[in-house]
Amino acid sequence: MLVINPYFTNGTNHPFDLVEWERRDAVIQGEGSVVFEQKGVEFPKFWSQLATNVVAQKYFRGALGTPEREYSLRQLIDRVTKTIADEGEKRGYFDHNSAVVFERELAHLILHQKMAFNSPVWFNVGVESAPQCSACFINSVEDTMESILTLAKTEGMLFKYGSGTGTNLSPLRSSREPLKGGGSASGPVSFMRGFDAFAGVIKSGGKTRRAAKMVILNCDHPDIRQFITCKAHEEKKAHALIDAGYDGSFNGEAYNSVFFQNSNNSVRVTDEFMNAVCEGGEYSLRGRDGSVIETVNARDIWREIAGAAWQCGDPGVQFDSVCNEWHTSPVSGRINASNPCAEYMYLDDSACNLASLNLRKFTLPGSRSLDVRSFTEAVDLTILAQEIIVGFSSYPTPRIWDNSHRFRPLGLGYANLGALLMSWGIPYDSDEGRNYAAAITALMTGCAYRMSAEIARACGGPCAGFAENREPFLAVIRKHYQACDELIGQNEIKRAALWQWDMAQMIGLIHGFRNSQTTVLAPTGTIGFMMDCDTTGVEPDIALVKYKRLVGGGMLKITNQTVTEALRVLGYTDAQREKIVEFIENNDTIEGSAIAPEHLPVFDCAFRAEKGTRSIQPIGHIKMMAAVQPFLSGAISKTVNMPSDATVEDIAEIYMLAWKLRLKAVAIYRDGCKRIQPLSTS
């Protein structure tokens, strides 16, 4: 069993005793916002109104107006942390005294907005007897009607409880191949229409958020061209409907009248295909029996991918060869697919629960450095919590249940990297910014695998799938260590990371690892709001001032809260900072304010402000992804933002660079390519 030491609470009775709680008069109005009126409800005063609103709307359980309805963060946090701690004690991870300390430490992380679990945990833990806790699922499909319809059912149940799913549809025979009983097959794109329709009517977690799904097709599938262009064709139809006067909002008639709006589409490409693109060579589209259906020019397919992405943002590209080079469990099967946001890449019929750390909460005051001790302790606590969650969660199919228990993959990540760099006065698109990001990511994953080995040593051994994959598993750990050893600069964080990787290798060599994967970089959308993050995942800020369209209607203005601190670090006086911030509020841009030109790169964002000229160039996004990818078990959920005037050739070049820099996946969004988008600069 593990002994849990009090890191943050110092043995006090409860983490809530460590903070000053504020009595506020609040009442939850419908499923909307928190309005301060005549009912006493406790909220910590350091949570923003926005964070409180998000939590109340999304995560409070129980029907409105009933005694079971949650009304405070204390209730929400207690429900989740007590359930996990009780399950940990019941399953032998620690004794009762350690369980009490563990619950307090976990509550401290959440209360102080240092960490948040993925949404299904908040939806279901402590509510359902066997809660669905994983946000990310990968489902397989076979070329039978029974399997296709079973996939539709499985996806529906995952959407119901707030999770997302991805599937590679390449096993389905193409529309160019015959059926045994005569006639031609429908092909994967036809079945995608049915899957999309189901996703569109099942809201995620029963809330207003849309269902999330990923559809993947291999580049050598005979229907690949139909797949590449299917979403772009539907986007053109939506534009025509909007031009004809139909409602073009998210839930409006225009987009509800076309297909494929509930999925992300990605083409799976191999190194062989990419080399053919570079050389202008040909490659073969093959049927299910391996026979050649057609020989095509690789560059023609590549241009069609870029052209469709220019039109609607899809398809993205997943680099199959790279994914499987870093696979810890290749003896058990290959990696064919990902979850909807492409950060979780692992075996078919598997699941991953996510959690993210808020990097801004782990900085040392007055320095450009990470509080390594508190950060690694937070990693330890969160990995242990996620490991416990694996055991008491429910899973939608027997195969996913089996793989979840055999391999126990986890997805720890972080949020607020963009805001962290800005607060230190470091441009996101700079070597210094990328070096910091790489070192922090190396530290996180090294610590996560070291903790996984510690759990294996103390709590029943490695995951069941470790033994058959021992040699390739340890080889991947060595690759991570080597990448860490080659880091440039950031000596303090690098030294800490190398120590974690040393310990991970030493303990893992003897005791194995409890978890086949430990880290990803997720989009952290809703939980980013919960932690009051200025930026999500590994992303820079979209804009210093942005406007978010809400799925249920309405518009929310969001202003970056890190600017003031960045200006202070850069040496501006109180009066100067106040004047610059006021200028941003009035003009939605920092350009034209009284800021020194050499400091402008610190405040560059993904989108160009309506009244500005600057933005982070697409290559800056790719370079940041390449800096952190070698230190992740999984991949990166990130959008490479392209300006509205980007060309098809520009997109093709970005996709090509992503492959050359050995990313696992890449997706782009050209500003304005859709008539409606969730975030905009005006």
What is the distance between the alpha carbons of residues 30 and 38, in angstroms, rounded to a whole number?
A: 16
298 in Cβ contact with 276 (< 8 Å): yes
User: Helices (H), strands (E): how many in the chain?
Assistant: 22, 19
Does residue 44 contact residue 16 with C-beta atoms inside 8 Å? Answer: no
d(CA 364, CA 584): 28
Name the 3-class secondary structure at 256: helix
- Spell out a b/e string for 234-273, using b for 16 or more CB atoms within 10 Å of the CB, else e: bbeebbebbeeeeebebebebbeebbbbbbbbbbbbbeeb
Catalytic residues, by residue number, are 339, 341, 343
Per-residue tokens: 239: 């534009």
What does the alpha-carbon distance between residue 420 and residue 362 come to, in Å, rounded to a whole number?
10
CB burial class (10 A; 0-12, 13-18, 19+) of residue 167?
Answer: buried
- For 139: left if phi > 0, alpha if psi spans -120 to 50, otherwise beta; the answer is beta
Query: Which residue has tokens 């030294």?
Result: 495
Report the alpha-carbon distance of residue 461 to residue 514 in Å, rounded: 7
Structure tokens belonging to residue 546: 């942005």
Rg of the chain on CA atoms, in Å: 24
Those residues with Cβ within 8 angstroms of residue 337's Cβ, 6 or more apart along the chain or in another chain? 138, 166, 167, 168, 214, 216, 268, 345, 348
d(CA 38, CA 40): 7
Which of 162, 163, 190 minimizes the C-alpha distance to 350?
163
